[in-house]
Structure 1
Amino acid sequence: MYLRSYTPVAILSTICGTTAQLVNPTNETFGNVFNFWSKTTDGWDLTRGNSTSAITLPMPHPAGNVTIQPASSALVIIDMQNFFLHPDLGGDPLGRALVPTTIDMIHAFRANGMKVFWTNWGLTDFDLMSMPPAFFRDFSSDGTSGSSLGSDMGMIQGNISVGRKLMRGSWNAQPFGDLFDEQVGGVANGTDFYFNKNRLSGMWGSSTPMQTFLQDNMITTLFFGGVNIDQCVWGTLLDAYYKGYDVVLVDDISATTSPAAATGMVDFNAALNGWRANSSDILPALM
């Protein structure tokens, strides 16, 4: 029996009935026929050939504007939870200050047919069984394991059961303030989707619930905000970049309790891996 030898690109070309070229003649396309960006006169086209209802968003100089396909784009909100933000839990006031602008972004993305992802800590007892020691140490509030992940956080305001620390379904793990109503309403209406995570990154590992959803729905362009910008936001953005997604960091819906140098590092590298912008850059184009 004689078996012909095919390269992966040749196999894909045969299956798809097209000729897969890795480099286009004018060198203005980056990638290949299945996953590519195209240079434009003022920036980048990320629609991968599907320009239906495309939107061009201005990006700060010198990155260049980006043209996106709404059906394949999403806003990712990370860890805007009571545990990190509520004042009675010592939450970050800088994070709480992001809420109104974050809600404006949520409404604008929904209005343009783009999905909103809520990516939050939401542990199970199985997650605790496989959690590395370093994470238990990092989340201990008094230096002992008894106050770390999964521990009962007691009551606040006399009648609110805070629940077990960052466990799925607990009050401390739900979105903070008005964001909770936005999340519940968005999920009920089918515009928003909620994904639990068990590490800093919502894209950690070979596959996560969010990554599976992205693949099933052919979503390729992701806008990131939340807390902390240098930890869970950065970790998720970086893993998404490693896995081939377009990444845009939205600075003014992101914050951290870390020193300013930490944000500087994220801003510098996010601009190399994708784009940095503010809601003030994006919202006028979505209106």
Structure 2
Amino acid sequence: MFLSSYSVILAAACGANAQLVNPNNDTFGNVFNFWTKTTDGWDLTRGNATNAITLPLPFPKSRVTIQPASSALVIIDMQNFFLHPDLNGDPRGRAVIPTTIDMIHAFRANDMKVIWTNWGLTEFDLMSMPPSFINGFSSDGTSSTSFGSDMGTIQGNISVGRKLMRGSRNAQPFGDLFDEQVGGVANGTDFYFNKNRLSGMWGASTPMQTFLQDNLITTLFFGGVNIDQCVWGTLLDSYYKGYDVILVDDVSATTSPASATGMVDFNAQLNGWRANSTNILPALT
């Protein structure tokens, strides 16, 4: 009976897929995951036009139409460790916080999910961490100051905890973003996922990917720090796994040279789209 049922499903899928191939060749993908090319851009709704929103994104790919129910804003590593001034956090990352909050509020207002993915390590993560990562996060070139090391106190007596460990103060979202994340999760509009590599989508599956699959989310907007490292890594893995990827430049930042951002911008618009909040917010508000 299983084989018979499988054959019926496969035949139905093949029949539906055949309908996606049209004389104008303006549909790309398969019955489960497809885009439709329009006269001035792309339709990413996959046939569900209910409450669809069209965003005037920049050339070359121009306007895209999205389905809010299957779209999400992904905020990456906007943590005290990377942003707090007393932890040598980057002012360029802090500068994009107001625009990030504007994006968060606009996505919530349109019933679009907000996803936070941050470094948040466990003891098991420390046991299995590759040497290259341990070296990359060392403060003085020794392993004793890398992941899991005690980062001491700031402002006299405020303990910031062990480096990038789950639940530590240094791993929390910075400033007003912390209240946004806590409030959003409590209200059911936002969702928080710890990660143990640069990419929140690294590996065969991650908690974030499982959530996306369970909620039929296919279109992802990316921002955070660093744009050429954890943001780029998460975007690229999402692209590899078949998601629509849209990089939002003005809610992203980096401590790297300008050439690093240039590389990300160039490749992001090949893999998906580049945009600024100014291309997105008017359509959402």
Q: TM-score band, normalised by the shorter chain?
A: over 0.9
Task: Give the CA deviation at 1:101.
Answer: 0.3
Task: Give the CA deviation at 1:42.
Answer: 1.1
Deviation per residue, 1:212-246 (Å, 9 max, x gap): 00001100000000000000000000000000000
Q: Which residue of 55, 60, 63 maps to 2:61?
A: 63
Contact 2:222–2:246 (Cα < 8 Å) also in 1? yes
Counterpart of 2:16 in 1: which secondary structure?
A: coil
Question: TM-score normalized by structure 2?
Answer: 0.96
Task: Give the CA deviation at 1:25.
Answer: 2.7
Contact 1:13–1:19 (Cα < 8 Å) also in 2? no
Counterparts of residues 69-148 of structure 1 (less than 5 Å): 69-148=67-146
The answer for the alignment partner of 1:204 in structure 2 is: 202
Contact 1:75–1:222 (Cα < 8 Å) also in 2? yes
Deviation per residue, 1:155-195 (Å, 9 max, x gap): 11112111000000000000000000000000000000000
Unpaired runs of 5+ in structure 1?
A: none
Counterparts of residues 1-287 of structure 1 (less than 5 Å): 12-14=9-11, 18-21=15-18, 23-287=21-285
Letter in 1 for 2:129: M
Contact 1:77–1:224 (Cα < 8 Å) also in 2? yes
Contact 2:57–2:275 (Cα < 8 Å) also in 1? yes
For the aligned residue pairs, the C-alpha RMSD in angstroms reads 1.7
Question: Whole-Å Cα distance in 2 between the matches of residues 85 and 208 of structure 1?
Answer: 25
Letter in 2 for 1:64: S
Task: Give the CA deviation at 1:61.
Answer: 1.6
Whose helix proportion is higher, 1 or 2? 2
Question: Whole-Å Cα distance in 2 between the matches of residues 171 and 190 of structure 1?
Answer: 23
Question: Whole-Å Cα distance in 2 between the matches of residues 157 and 11 of structure 1?
Answer: 66
- Between 23-32 and 53-62, the greater mean CA deviation after superposition: 23-32
Counterpart of 1:75 in 2: which secondary structure?
A: strand
Contact 1:80–1:120 (Cα < 8 Å) also in 2? yes
- Between 150-159 and 229-238, the greater mean CA deviation after superposition: 150-159
Letter in 2 for 1:277: A
Letter in 1 for 2:75: I
Deviation per residue, 1:48-86 (Å, 9 max, x gap): 000000000110122210000000000000000000000
Question: Whole-Å Cα distance in 2 between the matches of residues 61 and 102 of structure 1?
Answer: 23
User: 4+ runs of 1 displaced by more than 4 Å?
Assistant: 15-18
Question: Whole-Å Cα distance in 1 between the matches of residues 8 and 236 of structure 2?
Answer: 30
Question: Whole-Å Cα distance in 1 between the matches of residues 65 and 121 of structure 2?
Answer: 37
Counterpart of 1:61 in 2: which secondary structure?
A: coil
Number of aligned positions between the proteins = 282
- Between 49-58 and 30-39, the greater mean CA deviation after superposition: 30-39
Task: Give the CA deviation at 1:12.
Answer: 4.1
Contact 1:195–1:209 (Cα < 8 Å) also in 2? yes
Counterpart of 1:185 in 2: which secondary structure?
A: helix
Letter in 2 for 1:48: R
Contact 2:198–2:233 (Cα < 8 Å) also in 1? yes
Question: Whole-Å Cα distance in 2 between the matches of residues 20 and 51 of structure 1?
Answer: 19
Question: Whole-Å Cα distance in 1 between the matches of residues 13 and 264 of structure 2?
Answer: 39
Task: Give the CA deviation at 1:26.
Answer: 2.0
Question: Whole-Å Cα distance in 2 between the matches of residues 281 and 19 of structure 1?
Answer: 34
Question: Whole-Å Cα distance in 2 between the matches of residues 96 and 12 of structure 1?
Answer: 50
Counterpart of 1:19 in 2: which secondary structure?
A: helix
Task: Give the CA deviation at 1:14.
Answer: 3.2
| Identical aligned residues as a percent | 82
Question: Whole-Å Cα distance in 2 between the matches of residues 165 and 217 of structure 1?
Answer: 32
Question: Whole-Å Cα distance in 2 between the matches of residues 51 and 132 of structure 1?
Answer: 45
Letter in 1 for 2:58: P
Counterpart of 2:235 in 1: which secondary structure?
A: helix
Question: Whole-Å Cα distance in 1 between the matches of residues 274 and 132 of structure 2?
Answer: 31
Counterpart of 1:229 in 2: which secondary structure?
A: coil
Contact 2:13–2:31 (Cα < 8 Å) also in 1? no
Letter in 1 for 2:16: T
